[in-house]
A and B are shown apart, each in its own frame.
Chain A
């Protein structure tokens, strides 16, 4: 049971480049989310999904897109990277009826 798997773990982008952070979970969880964590700060919700085919915006969605074509996968796309998107990104999942959120190990992104 791998849990929540994120790739890549580290990435350096140039301003204006695009990329996709991959996230997969093997626990058949309905809910999946993407958070960003800036130094010394908490987790801010970017986008979330309550099931395949359904996505919604969190508190900081600008500059990011998501899709949920399957229950397992929830990729996060940076459309045109900016230095302000330098952060650690966490993918997370949980079952609809539960409270425990399972997080991936994080993806460290630097935009130069």
Chain B
């Protein structure tokens, strides 16, 4: 069956350091992989996505890497700030399937 999972449930970093959040997936048929950020008491919000035929995609302070050989996805946050403290989820979409599968989440804590 399909599953999406994150390697570590929690991650603590110093303000200004880079953060790397990892995710493993099992469904090779996924078309897109997406990262979401969920702040306390709110719904998840889209951060960045990557198509399955790409290896890397960059946004503002964030980079997503996709390694299809080992079915691994990572989110890199540069110069982590206190406002980055949140739970981060990876998710996968199969186009036209109408549903997305989410991993369990990694809680990122940024220490001042």
Partners in one complex: yes
Chain A residues proximal to chain B, CB less than 8 Å: 4, 31, 33, 35, 40-45, 48-50, 56, 58, 90, 92, 96-97, 99-106
The residues in B between 44 and 100 inclusive whose CB is less than 8 angstroms from any CB of A are: 44-46, 49, 89, 91, 93, 95-96, 98-100
A48 and B99 in contact, given A43-B44, A103-B45 (Cβ under 8 angstroms)? yes
A43 and B102 in contact, given A103-B44, A105-B42 (Cβ under 8 angstroms)? yes
Chain B, residue nearest A49 (CB): B98
In the assembled complex, the Cα of A101 lies from the Cα of B102 at a distance in Å of: 12
Would A100 and B46 count as touching, CB distance under 8 A? yes
Given A40-B105, A101-B100, 6 more A-B residue pairs with CB atoms under 8 Å apart are: A42-B104, A48-B98, A56-B99, A99-B32, A99-B34, A102-B46
Looking at the assembled complex, report how far the CB atom of B2 sits from the nearest CB atom of chain A, in whole angstroms. 10
Inside 8 A of A4's CB, which chain B residues have their CB? 43
Inside 8 A of B101's CB, which chain A residues have their CB? 45
The 10 closest A-B pairs by CB, nearest first: A103-B43, A50-B98, A42-B104, A43-B102, A100-B46, A42-B102, A99-B49, A99-B32, A48-B99, A31-B98
In the assembled complex, the Cα of A106 lies from the Cα of B39 at a distance in Å of: 12
In the assembled complex, the Cα of A4 lies from the Cα of B102 at a distance in Å of: 19
In the complex, whether B16 has a CB less than 8 A from a CB of chain A is no
Looking at the assembled complex, report how far the CB atom of B75 sits from the nearest CB atom of chain A, in whole angstroms. 15
In the assembled complex, the Cα of A62 lies from the Cα of B102 at a distance in Å of: 19
Chain A, residue nearest B90 (CB): A42
A42 and B105 in contact, given A99-B34, A101-B46 (Cβ under 8 angstroms)? yes
